[in-house]
Copies of this chain bind each other. A is one copy, B any other.
């Protein structure tokens, strides 16, 4: 998959040797000429926070959100690494800045991989200059950058949208397991770029809205990560000041596309499921109910087995902590209603079975109480998920 790089940006992905098997493991996204980009970012809310997140937060403040580059590595999360880890993250920024003739605080850093291991210095010493030298304003270079941040991902993730006024929004991301609400995944990373002219506050507002409506409504296994980071850079090279509404829409479209790619690439997942709750007392209740269903292990196992076990859905909704009337609830797989007024419906088992055999489907729950509605994107719980996560760290 390829996507157009917005004006002003270049990208690179190289194999530095952090991953011992020689796969791409170091990515760089940079504005190589002119002034640095305006930047916005959303970081993990986990109190166990990795060194690169600590450093990037500080750099964003120190640079007044003026960012020259983002350097990202896979193969090591640089988390639970203490002061040595912070020094390693700072070294990544310093080395990148030196080769791009930028200030260190104009470089943001992201890491993903196993927790509790120090970053090996050698690969970074040779890899960062190589990545700076490999920077290209090409679709291929961006695709290599997307591949260089993969861990358990099976596919690289890129998405793009054009604003009505002309500028482009393009993003790369990684993330598969451990994706939970509130910017919380075993490392969900995304870097978005636009060539629109945007002020830092408008850029942050657009990113906050997009993250809240996309990545924060994706749950794979409910686990929160130490490293999650979403960064949005605006080069301004198009010369066009994007409208606030089109910017929010464009950034949200790209984030939604990337979130969907993550759901489709969930660790061990075989199904993408849209859990929709309507008829809730309010939108917040609908969201809470949808999340409870999407995070129920029993429900997730039933998706894997293509089993229309709506009893588990009703049970999860009843335990969600929201206004609920068991005699008013409706459950449908896509258009096929299996439970109405809290009671079994005599549904066509063949029709439901062939619907549940689809790789992507909707689980629709109506609480029959009000106008609140929300959707959570999720995946099934499978043997392969257990396989991927039981192994040695």
Instruction: List chain A positions with a Cβ less than 8 A from chain B.
Output: 45-49, 77, 79-82, 114-117, 177-178, 180, 184, 186, 221-226, 295-298, 301-302, 304-305, 307-312, 314-319, 324-327, 329, 339, 341-344, 381-383, 385-387, 389-393
CB-based nearest B residue for A115: B311
Q: Is the CB of A310 within 8 A of B389?
A: no
| Chain B residues whose C-beta falls within 8 Å of the C-beta of A178 in the assembled complex | 298
CB-based nearest B residue for A296: B223
**Docked complex Cα distance between A81 and B342 (Å):** 8
In the assembled complex, 24 residue pairs joining A and B whose CB atoms fall closer than 8 Å, in A order, are A48-B315, A77-B311, A79-B315, A80-B342, A82-B327, A82-B343, A180-B319, A184-B319, A186-B298, A221-B297, A221-B298, A223-B297, A223-B316, A224-B315, A226-B315, A297-B297, A297-B385, A297-B389, A302-B389, A307-B393, A311-B393, A381-B386, A383-B386, A383-B387
Most B C-beta atoms less than 10 A away, residue of A186, A302, A327, A343 = A343
| Copies of this chain held together in the complex | 2
**Docked complex Cα distance between A341 and B389 (Å):** 25
| Chain B residues whose C-beta falls within 8 Å of the C-beta of A392 in the assembled complex | 305, 307, 309
Q: How far is the CB of A57 from chain B (nearest CB, A)?
A: 14
Q: Is the CB of A314 within 8 A of B48?
A: yes
CB-based nearest B residue for A227: B315
Most B C-beta atoms less than 10 A away, residue of A79, A304, A326 = A326
**Docked complex Cα distance between A116 and B312 (Å):** 10
